[in-house]
Amino acid sequence: MLRFFALLPLLLAACEPTPSPPVLTSPPEVQLPATVKRLEPEAAAAWIQAHPQAVVLDVREDWEIAKEGRIAGALWADYLNDERFAQATGSIDPATPCLIYCTLGGRSALAAEKLVARGFKELSLLDGGWEGWLRAGKPVQKP
């Protein structure tokens, strides 16, 4: 019985819950060149209309698109899947203007960082991401 009480502090310590990883509440800080523009939903919708040859990149995961829809004509380039992202963006001419969006803006900034490193010159980010697009009442293409 004495052994049990001697081991009790060790047993209790082993039962303590492990701390959960921190939850990101804002997009990670990414240093992008000044040439990468941030467009509010109104300006982004006008930009899409004014640039019919441009590429709109949706860098969300497939389940997000299936659940919520997308901007009409957007090319799926899942940022979290390196192979899919490389495949989807590999055939785009770096001189082509691109508008990039994700849910809030974190993945789109990271995607822009990768594309800048590959020589893309005319990149824009949808400020507020998909959530901002929806709040602004912009059109949605359902799957």
% of the chain surpassing 90 pLDDT: 75
The answer to whether residue 22 scores a pLDDT higher than 70 is no
Q: At what angle do helices 82-90 and 106-117 cross, to 10 degrees?
A: 60
pLDDT at 139 over 90: yes
| Res 31: pLDDT | 84
pLDDT band at 91 (very low <50, low <70, confident <90, very high): very high
Look at residue 50 and tell me whether its pLDDT is greater than 90. yes
Mean pLDDT, residues 50-61 taken together: 97
pLDDT-above-70 percentage for the chain: 80
Burial of 109 (0-12, 13-18, 19+ CB in 10 A): buried
| Residues β-bridged to residue 56 | 99
* pLDDT at residue 30, rounded to an integer: 78
Instruction: Quote the pLDDT of residue 12.
Output: 54
Detail the DSSP E strand segments found in 3-106: 37-39, 55-58, 75-76, 98-101
pLDDT band at residue 26 under the 50/70/90 scheme: low
Which domains, from first to last, does the chain contain? 33-135 (3.40.250.10)
Element (H, E) at 66: helix 62-68
pLDDT given at position 79: 97
Q: Which helix (H) or strand (E) holds 85?
A: helix 82-90
